[in-house]
Structure 1
Amino acid sequence: MSLAKKLWLTLLATLLLCIGFAYGLSNILYEKLYVASVEKELLQAGKSLALDYQGGDLTDEFIQQVNWYNEKASFEVFAVRNPRELAACIPFEIDYETLIGPAEREQLLKNKPVKKVGYVARFDRQVVSVIMPLLEEQRLQGILYLYVPLENIKELTADLTIYWGAGAAFFLFILLLIGLKWARYLTKPLEEMKTAAVRLAEGDFSTRVKVPAKDEIGQLAETLNRMAESIDKEDERTKEFLATVSHELRTPLSYIKGYSEALSSGMVKEEEERERYFHIITRESKRMERLVNDLMELIKLESDSSALERVPLPLAETIRQTLDKLKPAAKQKKIELTEELDHQIIIEGDEGRLEQVIVNLIDNALRYTEEGGRIHLRLSKQADKAIMALCDSGIGIPAEDVQKITERFYRVNKARTRSDGGTGLGLSIVENIVKGHGGRLMIESEYGLGTTVTIEFPLLQDMDDL
């Protein structure tokens, strides 16, 4: 059963319950008000007639006066000297002991009327009666008995029930017609979202739904659209990533395959040329190994931020030890590698990963800085941040490429080619490690003048506050 049908049936059940409850309540209230009105009328008439009683024995004149009133009234009224005489006056059987028992007699002797409501089989309806005492010096000289058979509630409300039923049916029809359209209107966005979700599951990531309003359903539609956009972008990135990986692996594989076939077929006769072919195969194999290792590293960092094992760490000492390993390479290329470190800075970090960051950054700087250049690494404190800045005098990065330089496999065509030996994943790995430490990576460069890479890390006390 669809959601629209469920809403429609819920509305129908609610309306039927409301109409039934309202009808039943009106019947109950009408009956109670009707009985109360009849009792009030009988009491007022009984009190008025009782005022004409002057005391002493009940006279025939007083009884005739009451009989005359009986002919004019809308109810029955009798005056009798002895309550047992009622049996001869009223057209239905009466149990005297039940009508006026000891309790009722005490009430009458206190000059208080007695009210009775009971079912009479002859009339097949309830009868309301009032007994008014006629007293003289605490002696009961007679009674006035007033009664009226109540009209059956069904008789009273017969016409009302017809109009009520007709009105309720019309109202129910109109309301359900509107309710059906309203239910369809409410569930239409949900149907569209269900269809969109199915299409997403089938791989159509371009699917979008209209946002009908700013309510919860509209917010759900916006969320679904954002999710579809994210999946679409991620799918495009995945396709691009796979295409780039295939392209990156194709080149070294083609080299390895070509040169291996040349060697195995005996086409290469000279030893020097054979050595060169072996060198190319070894170089491309190492390149493939680096590429696969970097890919595995990047996938691990992107999928599991908990891979970082963070401990309180004196960052300056980690930087110094890493630079000691890299200074021979800088010296070999005749590049000045210097540092300026604040040894008071403590962060919460993974020492191995941070060393990897420094190695990747220095390696890039060394690769794209000419002989005689310089590289300077500075660590300082600024407010609640640890700032690590690496400046080089290298060839720099064009302005249009700076924002994309951390993307996977991104290379600057003018300066960074496959022959340089990089995999195009180093800065992507660096950025993921920095983000895993709650930090921020910023790159500023001027083409032909050099590059500055700045990393911000939260200080240890801020990490504790979190």
Structure 2
Amino acid sequence: MGPVRIRSFTLLCFFFIMLMPWVFFVTAHFIETKSLNIGQTPNEELHTVPIVSAFVGVLLAFLIVGAAMRRFLLKPLERMSLVSREVAAGDWEVELPMFRIAEIAEVRDGFEVMVKGLQSSYRKQAELEEERRFVIAAVAHDLRTPLFALRGYLDGLEQGIAQSPEKMAKYLAVCKEKSEQLDRLVEDLFTFTKMEYLETKLNEETIDFKMILQNAVDSLRPLAMQKHISISSRSADDCIVRGEAHLLERAMTNLLDNAVRHTPSDGEIVVQCYKDEHKVKFSIRDTGPGFSSEELERVFEPLYRGEASRNRSTGGSGLGLTISQRIVRRHGGGLAARNHSEGGALLTGWLPVTD
């Protein structure tokens, strides 16, 4: 038997209350008169026994209906109230009983969906909180290294350890390098936090993605020249997308910075961009050592750095590729990493074309 609508249940109860007195009355009348003819009784009067029996039938009907209402209406609502308190206390594994009243069963199904949604949201929040703590702890640890080095060299300058112009120039160069490293770490942390937690709406505008890539190449070219790395750009003229220019430029700069830092001297980096149907596709290939199998699985994880070449010694925060992927995804695109068939790392991605 399936669930009963509460309207049908109410009508059944009303019919039962109306029926029971007549059943008791007719039964008592038949026992007393041996006849079902209610209109014909001795002395033309109704006896007291049938009337009392009808009254008893009314009371019994109300008792039975009350018990049924308690079982099918009140008890389920009390159970739902108890379950809601258990959920509020953090018990997500509560078991909801099945109900015979359709409306309460529907409330139960809706409550179950709500509990599952709350459980999923709670788990996601817990994961984000754990990731936030991990990011803060890891970045704080990374900040200590350049800070200690910077303070040490500044103390050396203050105490007059660096007396010759050459030594002073060396100390100042190291201080400048460490300050730039600190700036990069703080900027990575800020961007990561913004992309992960603030979920602000993008200020979209029509952008020539070719110019985004060119700006990123121009910003990294001096560093590449210091390592004698050549950067070539091959971009089509119809790479038009919509999004925030500074975010996309930050994403491409991170990808290029990663390529420059892990490409050996006299290496080469090739940047490409072209339109393919409804997508603007781009790729950044370097002639570095490429990714190991473990790195390919975890390269976009926050703060992950490989054990060999992709580690703290390169000066990265471990957030660059993560930030780039999340920026591209926020713009409706995708980003992937693999190794090129001729060697080196290859980062490929796409963004939706502006209609």
Aligned to 2:338: 444
- Give the drift of 1:326: 4.4
- Give the drift of 1:20: 10
Stretch deviating more after TM superposition (266-275 or 384-393) = 266-275
* 2: CA distance, partners of 1:226 / 1:431: 24
Aligned to 2:240: 346
* 1: CA distance, partners of 2:153 / 2:219: 35
Stretch deviating more after TM superposition (399-408 or 323-332) = 323-332
Gaps of 5+ in 1: 1-10, 31-40, 42-72, 76-148, 197-206, 462-466
Q: How does 1:25-424 map to 2 (within 5 A)?
A: 157-170=51-64, 172-173=66-67, 176=70, 181-196=75-90, 208-212=92-96, 215-264=109-158, 266=159, 268=161, 270-271=163-164, 273=167, 275-306=169-200, 308-320=202-214, 322-324=216-218, 326-327=220-221, 329-424=223-318
Kindly indicate whether the alpha-carbon contact (under 8 Å) linking 1:208 and 1:228 is maintained by their aligned counterparts in 2: no
User: In structure 2, the residue corresponding to 1:344 is in which secondary structure?
Assistant: coil
Does 1 or 2 have the higher relative contact order (CA < 8 Å, sep 6+)?
2
- Give the drift of 1:253: 2.4
* 2: CA distance, partners of 1:282 / 1:328: 16
Kindly indicate whether the alpha-carbon contact (under 8 Å) linking 1:301 and 1:307 is maintained by their aligned counterparts in 2: no
Give 2:284's aligned amino acid. Answer: L
Q: CA RMSD in A?
A: 3.9
Stretch deviating more after TM superposition (339-348 or 325-334) = 325-334
User: In structure 2, the residue corresponding to 1:294 is in which secondary structure?
Assistant: helix
User: In structure 2, the residue corresponding to 1:403 is in which secondary structure?
Assistant: helix
* 2: CA distance, partners of 1:169 / 1:361: 77
Aligned to 1:123: none
Q: Deviations over 1:290-346 (max 9, x none)?
A: 211222222223344546332222323443454355445544533332233221232
Q: 1:455 to 1:74 in 2, by over 3 A?
A: closer
Gaps of 5+ in 2: 1-5, 26-36, 98-107
* 1: CA distance, partners of 2:13 / 2:64: 15
* 1: CA distance, partners of 2:63 / 2:221: 93
Q: 1:389 to 1:165 in 2, by over 3 A?
A: same
User: In structure 1, the residue corresponding to 2:329 is in which secondary structure?
Assistant: helix
Query: TM-score by structure 1 length?
Result: 0.59
Q: Percent identity?
A: 25
Aligned to 1:35: none
- Give the drift of 1:274: 5.3
Kindly indicate whether the alpha-carbon contact (under 8 Å) linking 1:317 and 1:343 is maintained by their aligned counterparts in 2: no
* 2: CA distance, partners of 1:263 / 1:320: 39
Give 2:93's aligned amino acid. Answer: V
User: In structure 2, the residue corresponding to 1:460 is in which secondary structure?
Assistant: coil
Structure with higher Rg: it is: 1
- Give the drift of 1:347: 1.6
The structure whose residues are more often strand, as a share, is 1
* 1: CA distance, partners of 2:276 / 2:299: 26
